[in-house]
Amino acid sequence: MFSKAVSCELLRDVAVSGVVVERQRWILSTMQKYGPELLTMLWRILGNEQDVCDAYQDTFLQIAHFEGGRKPDHVRAYVFRTANNIAVSMLRRRAAEKNRLAGSLAKTQTASSPAMEVDCEYLQETLRMRIARLPEHLRNVVALRDLAELSYAQVGKILGISAGTARVYRCKAIQLLASWMSKEE
């Protein structure tokens, strides 16, 4: 985490190297004093170098524009609360964007064609027929595990086998079904 935070130190270095208005020197001293802690907090919240750098920069831009450059009463609290709010806003925007994209993807998938629905029904029926062709011990495990959604321990108890054996039987059944289904294509 420390090595990734080094690139964000460039933000501090650029700000320190420029000419600063005397009444805003407190901003630079705040950046130097709380910068490493702030970067650590932002890394924990965001976990992405670009987002951390953006949040760090936005935090100090907001501090610089706080009531016309006036110094807040409780600088440390203001800096960390501002950074936290910015980071949470970034996470919310990212989640909203992800939900928006997922929603649009779901709409395109639900608007399937009748041919696609027929293909799905055909695939389900073919799979049911293939499961029925499985040897009884494999078919029982698949039915209990995948259709009844029981745990391997429950399947083993019902069939009088161990949970590990139930896993092996299901694995064999899946492999056999996959080979049968691929031959059909």
Q: What is the pLDDT of residue 4?
A: 47
Interatomic CA distance for residues 153 and 155, integer angstroms: 5
State the CB neighbour count (10 A cutoff) for residue 37: 13
Asked whether residue 102 falls in the same domain as residue 119, the answer is: no
Low-confidence ranges of the chain (pLDDT < 50): 1-6, 14-17, 19
pLDDT at 2: 46
Say whether both 54 and 92 belong to one domain: yes
Q: Give the whole-angstrom CA distance, residue 35 versus residue 26.
A: 13
Question: So what's the pLDDT on residue 3?
Answer: 46
Whole-angstrom Cα distance, residue 55 to residue 50?
9
Could you tell me if 55 and 122 lie in one domain? no
| Domain C-terminal end among 108, 143, 166 | 108
